[in-house]
Amino acid sequence: MPVPLPLPIALRPQCRQQRGYLFIATSDELIDDALAVKSGQKTGLKATAEFKHLARRPARSRQQFCYMSQRFVQNLDAG
């Protein structure tokens, strides 16, 4: 899939170690959101209807799972 340049997202790479985890993300807000989901302060990807629908399908391999949301793909196409 071709990636449009410049990227249609704000890119401020961040690296942070917190609560025993190493986070590498495109922004500090993404790390904050991940920590909020982990602590139960926010709902994460597993709470979305789209993810629940896709996760019900039987997996061919239980070793990995790749997920790209429809919203993400639409944002790439819009750029």
Q: In the predicted model, is pLDDT for residue 57 greater than 90?
A: no
What's the rounded Cα separation, in Å, for the pair 65 and 19?
Answer: 24
Amino acid at 44: G
What does the pLDDT average to over 46-51?
Answer: 87
- 62 pLDDT higher than 80: no
CA atoms of 19 and 36, how far apart (whole Å): 12
The model's pTM: 0.60
- What are the structural domain ranges in the chain? 14-78
Query: Which residues lie across from 15 on neighbouring strands?
Result: 24
Does residue 19 carry a pLDDT above 80?
A: yes
Report pLDDT for 64. Answer: 65
